[in-house]
Amino acid sequence: MSRSRKKKRNEVSLRNLTRNTTWVGFVVFVFASLCIYVVFAAAFSLFLGYFFESKVRTETEKASSIVETLEASGISGEEGFEAIRQRVDMLGHDYYITDENKNNVLFSKGEPEFFDSGSNLNIVIADSRFRLYSNSSIGFFVTENGDESAVDLVQLIRYLKDNPADKLSFGDLNNNIATVPFWVEMSVMDGKYHIFIKLDVDLGLTDVFYVIAFFGVISAIMMIVMIVLIVNAIVNAVRRQKTIKLLFTDPVTKGHNWLWFSFYGNQLIRKRRNRNRTYAVVTIDVVKYSNFCICHSLSEGEEMLYRISEILEKNRIKKEYIAHAAGSSFALLLKYSDEERIKKRVTHIIEQLQQISDEHKFNFHAGIAVVDVSVSSEKDKKGRVIIDIEKEYNYACAARDELAGSDDSGVVLLDDKMIADQKWIDIVHEKQQAALDNEEFLIYYQPKYNPQNDELTGAEALIRWQSPEYGFVTPNRIIPIFEQNGFITKIDHYMIRHVARDQKRWLDAGYKCVPVSVNVSRAHFIEDDLAEQIRDLVDSEGCPHEYIEIELTESAFFDDKKALLTTIGRLKGYGFAVSMDDFGSGYSSLNSLKDMPLDVLKLDAEFFRGEQGDGRGQIVVAEAIKLAKYLNMRTVAEGVEMREQVDFLAEQGCDMIQGYFYAKPMPGSDYEERMKQGSSAEEIISETVNASGTGNISETENISEEVNAEDAEKKE
């Protein structure tokens, strides 16, 4: 997942986390309570229904078995009818018998009191169906779904309630507390007669106990569930509040942190009602904060940050945000009216901050980026302005960086050039992965020649970006950005792989190949297995190791020396040559030369710039070459453009020259030509010198490169 998508996801998660969900909780609670109530009622009614029905069934079974036994004995006709009637009579219940069509009552005992409407129900006992009828004085056997047997409990309870105890029969044998009558219909003799018998359901004390026990257990369970739900909701709400607080609190200043600032800052500037407002995103940084911490202590440094945060907080007005961004930097989102005023205000804040300590004088660098919401060019599909406060803060930082190197306090407002630079950084950042995937990065080769015999002895691989949108882009415009955002490690891998692939192809095609050096950024040196990564990349392309050289920039030698030494040792062990790039460009790295077992020393192009009038530069170069020789290192002079320089270097015993005098960086196809010519470089030089009067041999190619680069700049 890309970083921007991840960022969006995080934003959504934060929004969900911080959203006020009290009413949602309330709705969920009510819904859960309702569900619990329904489950409770259903369980209770099911239980009672089943309980009561089983009693009805038992009674019905008793009556039906008598009739069935008689029928089974095979007596029929008048005799059969009389036999059945007598047996039913013996049961001692009210009953009556009708003919086939239930029109004529043939015999009866007691009053037939039942519903003869459709409100009856069936009960199935051993394959036979019986009809149950509601007793008209009670009316609780009501069926609502046709054939299914069901007892209407509401009706039953209502009946028990409406019928005072004296109407019901009490004190029977089995501790009866209520007798509920119902009628059952049975067809006998193949439907020739219908017998309706009034039966009773006896409810005893034990039954009541079961019902109450069941009711109690269910109620207790429901109660526990409810309590758990409520406690859980409260605990969650408290925990959520704590999480939010922890998430948004800065551990050093105890105020807000960057996450809070970016989250609520974005919400504020994106609000509909703020769309005509202008804000200033400000960064304020303590100059040389780390020096202070080294001289004093980290806790004293943090104490300072705490006090800075307090002062900033005092300067904040309503609807303005302040947070500790990172390290010694603070982020502010302030209201803006005009440049003059905002600068004055920030200067005034800095003046207050400078008073923070009596013993130590602190200075502050501030950068300001103005966010005019109404004119923001970035809009989404629906036309809403999308402003990213992180981007704006980066702009403010870019403005602040203009003060880098100065120890005095200062305030810089972002200008157009800074905006353009920053935009370019954003573009590169956004496009880099796609450009890599689409192989838009080209490998240019700059040959290295032996000045003694003009023979091709090596080359350096240099990146170019052939962008469909931005044209031909030179490395100076992308490499520093990649180094900043960490993409450089992917670029270095890409270069190594492609160079190894090219070399393998050229070797297979029978070219007279020479080692090609590839730049490896210092950012890589934190990786323990860098040497193995390089070896594996080269091996995967099947290229012999002696055709690949690794260039480490001089500044890398100031990082973790031990790690560097180990990696160089391993690289050499695998058969790669290792060179120190840009020697002499930065701080003296003579000490590194002593410790590092390097193969090649590349003299920085700065040695060969400008007039060589007083000869001091020549002395330094000559001595550097000598030094390298004593240390068994070969030398490459970079940036050599003139014949005199070549002659001088040849005299001093410089092994290789990489410069426009011989060749500019060129595409692989042109470099192939160079390999074909091999030692005949002399001819090309004399040809070019004759034709143009300079030593520049790839003029045509490079003019197009330069034009393309200009194009790219214009396009931005």
User: Which chain residues interact with Ca ion by CB under 5 A?
Assistant: 519, 551, 581-582, 638
| Interface region with ligand C2E, contact rule CB under 6 A, candidates 72-80, 209-217, 343-351, 658-666 | 658-666
User: Considering CB distances under 5 to 8 angstroms, the limit depending on partner class, which of ligand C2E, Ca ion, none binds residue 659?
Assistant: ligand C2E
User: Considering CB distances under 5 to 8 angstroms, the limit depending on partner class, which of Ca ion, ligand C2E, none binds residue 463?
Assistant: ligand C2E
Q: Which is nearer to Ca ion, 185 or 638 (CB)?
A: 638
Q: Distance between CA atoms of 392 and 388, rounded to whole angstroms?
A: 6
Q: Which is nearer to ligand C2E, 390 or 606 (CB)?
A: 606
Q: Does 659 bind ligand C2E (CB under 6 A)?
A: yes
User: Considering CB distances under 5 to 8 angstroms, the limit depending on partner class, which of Ca ion, ligand C2E, none binds residue 660?
Assistant: ligand C2E
Q: Does 665 bind ligand C2E (CB under 6 A)?
A: yes
Give, as one character, the DSSP assignment of residue 524: G
Q: Distance between CA atoms of 325 and 310, rounded to whole angstroms?
A: 15
Contact 603, 636 (CB under 8 A): yes
Contact 107, 85 (CB under 8 A): yes
What φ, ψ does residue 199 adopt, rounded to 5°?
-110, 170
- Rounded least distance, CB 638 to ligand C2E, Å: 6
Q: Distance between CA atoms of 570 and 141, rounded to whole angstroms?
A: 94
- Rounded least distance, CB 473 to ligand C2E, Å: 10
Using CB under 6 A, pick the residue from 521, 579, 645, 688 that binds ligand C2E: 521
| Interface region with ligand C2E, contact rule CB under 6 A, candidates 110-118, 283-291, 542-550, 656-664 | 656-664
Site string for ligand C2E, 603-642 (x = CB under 6 A): --x--------------------------------xxxx-
Q: Does 491 bind ligand C2E (CB under 6 A)?
A: yes
Q: Does 584 bind ligand C2E (CB under 6 A)?
A: no
- Rounded least distance, CB 663 to Ca ion, Å: 15
Residue 329 exposed, middle or buried by CB count within 10 Å (0-12, 13-18, 19+)? buried
Q: Which is nearer to Ca ion, 471 or 665 (CB)?
A: 665
Best CA proximity match to 459, nearest among 495, 491, 508? 495
Q: Does 492 bind ligand C2E (CB under 6 A)?
A: yes
Return the amino acid letter for 285: D
Partners of 186 in the β-ladder: 195
Site string for ligand C2E, 424-463 (x = CB under 6 A): ----------------------x---------------xx
Q: Does 475 bind ligand C2E (CB under 6 A)?
A: yes
Transcribe 125-166 into DSSP letters. ETTEEEEEE-BTTT-----SSTTS----HHHHHHHHHHS-GG
Q: Which is nearer to ligand C2E, 265 or 659 (CB)?
A: 659
Q: Which is nearer to ligand C2E, 292 or 662 (CB)?
A: 662
Question: Residue 247 half-sphere exposure, CB side, CA atoms within 13 Å?
Answer: 18
- Rounded least distance, CB 677 to ligand C2E, Å: 19
Structure tokens at 588: 């003296």
| Interface region with ligand C2E, contact rule CB under 6 A, candidates 63-71, 151-159, 398-406, 653-661 | 653-661
Residue 454 exposed, middle or buried by CB count within 10 Å (0-12, 13-18, 19+)? buried
Indicate the helix (H) or strand (E) that contains 197.
strand 193-204
Structure tokens at 714: 């214009």
Best CA proximity match to 669, nearest among 439, 501, 443, 465? 443
- Rounded least distance, CB 662 to ligand C2E, Å: 9
User: Considering CB distances under 5 to 8 angstroms, the limit depending on partner class, which of Ca ion, ligand C2E, none binds residue 665?
Assistant: ligand C2E
Q: Distance between CA atoms of 633 and 638, rounded to whole angstroms?
A: 16
Structure tokens at 527: 């990786």
Q: Distance between CA atoms of 122 and 184, rounded to whole angstroms?
A: 9
Q: Does 495 bind ligand C2E (CB under 6 A)?
A: yes
Best CA proximity match to 475, nearest among 444, 516, 506? 444
Rg of the chain's alpha carbons, rounded to an integer?
A: 48
Using CB under 6 A, pick the residue from 133, 248, 660, 671 that binds ligand C2E: 660
Q: Which is nearer to ligand C2E, 261 or 487 (CB)?
A: 487
- Rounded least distance, CB 581 to ligand C2E, Å: 5
Positions that interact with ligand C2E (CB under 6 A): 446, 462-463, 474-476, 479, 488, 491-492, 495, 519, 521, 581-582, 605, 638-641, 658-660, 665
